[in-house]
Copies of this chain bind each other. A is one copy, B any other.
């Protein structure tokens, strides 16, 4: 094979689907830059770090340059897709979801001064991680998880539906039993529902809890039942993953 042009080498480095396995160093660097940019967007919301604002500004601007260079590079190398129609390929990249996400990542640098809009724009950077996460050997794990969840989606929906019905029945019971003793916490179904959700998911904040003997008895019954609510989807997913793996390992033999 003849010597590869710079554009072709850059295309192979940026577009990992063209590689057999693993990630190129360039993609690892860009992945780290995306993670750093998301981390910066998170830390910028913390008021006690406001005296570091200039550091954040420099870091954001540097990342903006990196993302701008990457965006320009991706437009340039898009021509490698089909060498006969380079500009058509480039236009196709610009209007593709991946290209738009890259453009947003560059633009979002100029919204760093904060506000909800600027922050949400920064979160779009997370979408770009999907491109990295889909690469190499993660790609098979992704598709297995998706397949296992989708294969059993009816059973999972039913188990979440049962969880909601359990929350509703528990909240109703405590509303009748504890409503008069603690009107602030159990004085309506939605209020008792906050306690029921925290109990049945085994979170248990402890901001509200039954104080009457009957309320505690019903609460204990709900707590024991919560074990089954967590165990049901865990069991369904475990079986789905077993099935997916057996299907994969069984394919060559059958």
Q: Identify the stretch in A76-84, A92-100, A103-111, A184-192 within 8 Å (CB) of chain B at 4 or more residues.
A: A184-192
Using Cβ atoms and an 8 Å threshold, which residues of chain B touch A230?
227, 230-231, 234
Interface bits A32-59 vs B (CB < 8 Å: 1, else 0): 0000001001110111000000000000
Q: B46, B116, B187, B245: which contacts A243 (Cβ < 8 A)?
A: B245
Interface bits A10-52 vs B (CB < 8 Å: 1, else 0): 0000000000000000000000000000100111011100000
Asked if A239 CB lies within 8 Å of chain B CBs, one says yes
Q: Which 7 A-B pairs have the closest CB atoms?
A: A235-B237, A239-B241, A203-B204, A141-B154, A238-B238, A205-B206, A206-B206
Q: What residues of chain A have their CB less than 8 Å away from a CB belonging to chain B? A: 38, 41-43, 45-47, 116, 119, 123, 126, 133, 137-138, 140-142, 144-145, 148, 152, 154-161, 163-165, 168, 172, 175-176, 187-191, 193-194, 197-199, 201-207, 209, 213, 216, 219-220, 223-224, 226-246, 249
Q: In the complex, given contacts A145-B155, A201-B202, what are 19 additional A-B residue pairs having Cβ atoms less than 8 angstroms apart? A: A45-B175, A45-B190, A46-B189, A47-B188, A119-B172, A137-B154, A140-B154, A145-B232, A155-B241, A164-B224, A197-B223, A201-B226, A202-B203, A202-B204, A203-B204, A203-B226, A204-B205, A227-B229, A243-B246
